[in-house]
Amino acid sequence: MAMMPQTEVMLLLDRIARLHAARRRAVTLTDAQCATLEYLARANRFSRSPSVIADYLATTRGTASQTLKSLAEKGLITEEATEGDRRQRRYALTEGGRTLVEGWLASTAKAETAEAVQAARTLLRSLIASAGGKSFGMCRDCRHHSIGPGGTRTCGLLQITLALEEAGQLCHEFAEAG
Protein backbone atom coordinates (compact mmCIF):
# COMPACT_ATOMS: atom_id res chain seq x y z
CA MET A 1 0.00 0.00 0.00
CA ALA A 2 3.03 2.23 0.12
CA MET A 3 2.92 4.95 -2.46
CA MET A 4 4.67 4.28 -5.67
CA PRO A 5 7.77 6.45 -5.78
CA GLN A 6 7.08 7.43 -9.38
CA THR A 7 4.17 9.56 -8.33
CA GLU A 8 5.65 11.77 -5.67
CA VAL A 9 6.76 14.64 -7.85
CA MET A 10 3.55 14.95 -9.80
CA LEU A 11 1.56 15.05 -6.61
CA LEU A 12 3.81 17.72 -5.16
CA LEU A 13 3.59 19.73 -8.35
CA ASP A 14 -0.13 19.44 -8.39
CA ARG A 15 -0.32 21.05 -5.00
CA ILE A 16 2.22 23.69 -5.96
CA ALA A 17 0.15 24.58 -8.98
CA ARG A 18 -3.01 24.86 -6.92
CA LEU A 19 -1.42 27.10 -4.34
CA HIS A 20 0.02 29.15 -7.15
CA ALA A 21 -3.37 29.49 -8.79
CA ALA A 22 -4.94 30.48 -5.48
CA ARG A 23 -2.36 33.20 -5.08
CA ARG A 24 -3.10 34.49 -8.52
CA ARG A 25 -6.76 34.55 -7.79
CA ALA A 26 -6.05 37.07 -5.09
CA VAL A 27 -5.11 39.47 -7.87
CA THR A 28 -7.73 40.80 -10.24
CA LEU A 29 -6.68 38.41 -12.98
CA THR A 30 -7.47 34.78 -13.58
CA ASP A 31 -4.97 31.98 -13.70
CA ALA A 32 -5.01 31.81 -17.49
CA GLN A 33 -4.59 35.56 -17.80
CA CYS A 34 -1.61 35.58 -15.44
CA ALA A 35 -0.01 32.69 -17.27
CA THR A 36 -0.51 34.46 -20.58
CA LEU A 37 1.06 37.66 -19.32
CA GLU A 38 4.03 35.78 -17.94
CA TYR A 39 4.48 33.98 -21.20
CA LEU A 40 4.34 37.18 -23.21
CA ALA A 41 6.97 38.63 -20.93
CA ARG A 42 9.38 35.90 -21.92
CA ALA A 43 8.55 34.91 -25.47
CA ASN A 44 10.35 36.23 -28.52
CA ARG A 45 8.68 38.02 -31.39
CA PHE A 46 8.02 34.81 -33.34
CA SER A 47 6.17 33.19 -30.50
CA ARG A 48 3.59 35.70 -29.37
CA SER A 49 0.67 34.72 -31.59
CA PRO A 50 -2.62 33.16 -30.44
CA SER A 51 -1.84 29.74 -31.88
CA VAL A 52 1.52 29.52 -30.20
CA ILE A 53 0.10 30.76 -26.94
CA ALA A 54 -2.58 28.10 -27.17
CA ASP A 55 0.13 25.49 -27.59
CA TYR A 56 2.03 26.81 -24.64
CA LEU A 57 -0.98 26.92 -22.35
CA ALA A 58 -2.22 23.55 -23.56
CA THR A 59 -5.55 24.96 -24.62
CA THR A 60 -7.35 25.79 -27.85
CA ARG A 61 -7.00 28.76 -30.15
CA GLY A 62 -10.50 29.84 -29.27
CA THR A 63 -9.79 30.00 -25.59
CA ALA A 64 -6.46 31.67 -26.10
CA SER A 65 -8.13 34.24 -28.30
CA GLN A 66 -10.62 35.04 -25.56
CA THR A 67 -7.92 35.38 -22.96
CA LEU A 68 -5.98 37.76 -25.18
CA LYS A 69 -9.10 39.76 -25.86
CA SER A 70 -9.79 40.22 -22.16
CA LEU A 71 -6.20 41.25 -21.50
CA ALA A 72 -6.32 43.76 -24.33
CA GLU A 73 -9.51 45.24 -22.92
CA LYS A 74 -7.73 45.74 -19.63
CA GLY A 75 -4.96 47.58 -21.44
CA LEU A 76 -2.30 45.08 -20.44
CA ILE A 77 -1.39 43.96 -23.94
CA THR A 78 -1.64 45.34 -27.46
CA GLU A 79 -1.46 43.99 -30.96
CA GLU A 80 1.89 44.65 -32.54
CA ALA A 81 2.57 45.39 -36.15
CA THR A 82 3.87 42.34 -37.97
CA GLU A 83 5.61 41.75 -41.24
CA GLY A 84 5.30 38.59 -43.27
CA ASP A 85 2.28 36.31 -43.01
CA ARG A 86 -0.71 38.59 -42.70
CA ARG A 87 -2.86 35.97 -41.01
CA GLN A 88 -0.72 36.07 -37.95
CA ARG A 89 -1.12 38.50 -35.12
CA ARG A 90 1.45 39.25 -32.53
CA TYR A 91 0.77 40.59 -29.08
CA ALA A 92 3.03 42.38 -26.65
CA LEU A 93 2.83 43.69 -23.12
CA THR A 94 2.05 47.35 -22.67
CA GLU A 95 3.98 49.38 -20.15
CA GLY A 96 1.29 48.70 -17.59
CA GLY A 97 1.28 45.03 -18.40
CA ARG A 98 4.99 44.71 -18.03
CA THR A 99 5.00 46.58 -14.76
CA LEU A 100 2.31 44.27 -13.46
CA VAL A 101 4.14 41.11 -14.48
CA GLU A 102 7.47 42.24 -13.11
CA GLY A 103 5.91 43.15 -9.81
CA TRP A 104 4.04 39.92 -9.69
CA LEU A 105 7.02 37.76 -10.48
CA ALA A 106 9.16 39.57 -7.95
CA SER A 107 6.80 38.50 -5.21
CA THR A 108 6.73 34.81 -6.10
CA ALA A 109 8.82 32.00 -4.82
CA LYS A 110 12.41 32.70 -3.99
CA ALA A 111 13.52 29.09 -3.70
CA GLU A 112 15.37 29.16 -6.93
CA THR A 113 18.33 26.86 -7.10
CA ALA A 114 20.15 25.46 -10.06
CA GLU A 115 19.01 22.01 -9.03
CA ALA A 116 15.40 23.11 -8.85
CA VAL A 117 15.55 24.60 -12.32
CA GLN A 118 17.20 21.49 -13.67
CA ALA A 119 14.65 19.23 -12.00
CA ALA A 120 11.76 21.26 -13.35
CA ARG A 121 13.19 21.20 -16.84
CA THR A 122 13.67 17.47 -16.69
CA LEU A 123 10.12 16.98 -15.57
CA LEU A 124 8.72 19.24 -18.21
CA ARG A 125 10.70 17.44 -20.88
CA SER A 126 9.38 14.05 -19.87
CA LEU A 127 5.83 15.34 -19.69
CA ILE A 128 6.12 16.93 -23.10
CA ALA A 129 7.52 13.74 -24.52
CA SER A 130 4.54 11.74 -23.34
CA ALA A 131 1.92 14.39 -24.03
CA GLY A 132 3.13 15.60 -27.38
CA GLY A 133 3.59 19.22 -26.43
CA LYS A 134 6.25 21.63 -27.58
CA SER A 135 9.28 22.47 -25.55
CA PHE A 136 9.59 26.26 -25.90
CA GLY A 137 13.23 26.53 -24.93
CA MET A 138 15.42 29.59 -25.14
CA CYS A 139 17.21 30.57 -28.30
CA ARG A 140 20.61 30.37 -26.69
CA ASP A 141 20.04 26.68 -25.95
CA CYS A 142 18.62 25.89 -29.35
CA ARG A 143 20.09 23.78 -32.11
CA HIS A 144 19.50 26.56 -34.61
CA HIS A 145 21.25 29.22 -32.61
CA SER A 146 24.78 30.16 -33.52
CA ILE A 147 27.21 32.93 -32.70
CA GLY A 148 29.17 34.24 -35.61
CA PRO A 149 32.20 36.49 -35.82
CA GLY A 150 31.81 39.65 -33.83
CA GLY A 151 29.35 37.92 -31.52
CA THR A 152 26.45 38.17 -33.95
CA ARG A 153 23.70 35.76 -32.96
CA THR A 154 21.71 34.15 -35.70
CA CYS A 155 18.85 31.69 -35.99
CA GLY A 156 19.66 29.14 -38.65
CA LEU A 157 16.05 28.05 -38.97
CA LEU A 158 14.43 31.42 -39.57
CA GLN A 159 17.56 32.85 -41.19
CA ILE A 160 17.60 36.01 -39.15
CA THR A 161 19.87 37.94 -36.87
CA LEU A 162 18.89 37.97 -33.24
CA ALA A 163 19.15 40.86 -30.87
CA LEU A 164 21.17 40.12 -27.77
CA GLU A 165 18.14 40.14 -25.51
CA GLU A 166 16.35 37.66 -27.71
CA ALA A 167 18.83 34.93 -26.93
CA GLY A 168 17.19 34.47 -23.56
CA GLN A 169 13.60 34.49 -24.78
CA LEU A 170 11.36 31.52 -25.38
CA CYS A 171 10.79 30.33 -28.91
CA HIS A 172 8.11 28.20 -30.43
CA GLU A 173 10.60 26.64 -32.82
CA PHE A 174 13.00 25.56 -30.14
CA ALA A 175 14.88 22.35 -30.87
CA GLU A 176 17.05 20.52 -28.38
CA ALA A 177 20.71 20.96 -29.18
CA GLY A 178 22.24 17.79 -30.52
Partner DNA sequence: TGCAATAGTTTCGATTCGCTATCATATGGA
Partner DNA sequence: TCCATATGATAGCGAATCGAAACTATTGCA
User: Given the rule CB under 7 A, which residues bind DNA?
Assistant: 22, 25, 30-33, 49-52, 57-70, 79, 84-89
Say how many residues touch a second copy, by CB under 8 A. Answer: 61
The helix (H) or strand (E) run that includes residue 128 is helix 114-131
Amino acid making up residue 39: Y
Residue 80's binding partner among DNA, a second copy, none (Cβ under 5 to 8 angstroms by kind) is none
Residue 136: CB atoms within 10 A of its CB come to: 19
CB distance 152 to 161 below 8 Å? yes
Shortest reach from residue 1's CB to DNA, in Å: 23
Looking at 39-47, 62-70, 79-87, 142-150, which segment touches a second copy (CB under 8 A)? 39-47
- Which residue from 86, 112, 150, 178 is in contact with a second copy, where contact means CB under 8 A? 112
* Gap between the Cα atoms of 57 and 24, Å rounded: 16
- Which residue from 73, 84, 103, 131 is in contact with a second copy, where contact means CB under 8 A? 131
> Is 157 a residue that touches a second copy (CB under 8 A)?
no
The torsion angles phi and psi of 82, rounded to 5 degrees, stand at: -130, 150
Shortest reach from residue 46's CB to DNA, in Å: 10
> ∠ CA(42), CA(45), CA(47), 5° rounding?
70
* Gap between the Cα atoms of 119 and 112, Å rounded: 11
Residue 92's binding partner among a second copy, DNA, none (Cβ under 5 to 8 angstroms by kind) is none
Shortest reach from residue 38's CB to DNA, in Å: 13
